[in-house]
Amino acid sequence: MISLDVQVMLQPGQGRPSVELIDPQSGATVKIKGLPPNSIIIRAENFENPLTVFNGSKGERKRADFVIVSNDENEKRWITCIETQESD
């Protein structure tokens, strides 16, 4: 359903998968451990520019770097938006 070009693949871990998010623009790297095995991680910056979709009157042209979509053990659905930035 979602192109592999925008997905970040889960890495097997002890017990639960992990993922390493690398933002080439900022140089930031974040490792997240213990994700539900059915999680989908999307590199949102790879989508078409939001300037073509939104008019920008209320800041809606901004977007997160990564989006994690998953269901937990209790079948609760989660969407987590992550913005990475380089730190000094």
Confidence check: pLDDT of 50 > 90: no
Quote the pLDDT of residue 10. Answer: 94
Query: For residue 65, what pLDDT band results from cuts at 50, 70 and 90?
Result: confident
**How many degrees, rounded to 5, is the angle at CA 86 between CA 84 and CA 88?**
145
- Confidence grade of residue 49 (pLDDT, cut at 50, 70, 90): low
Domain boundaries, the chain: 4-82
Statement: residue 18 has pLDDT above 80: yes
Average pLDDT over residues 45-71: 76
Predicted structure pTM score: 0.76
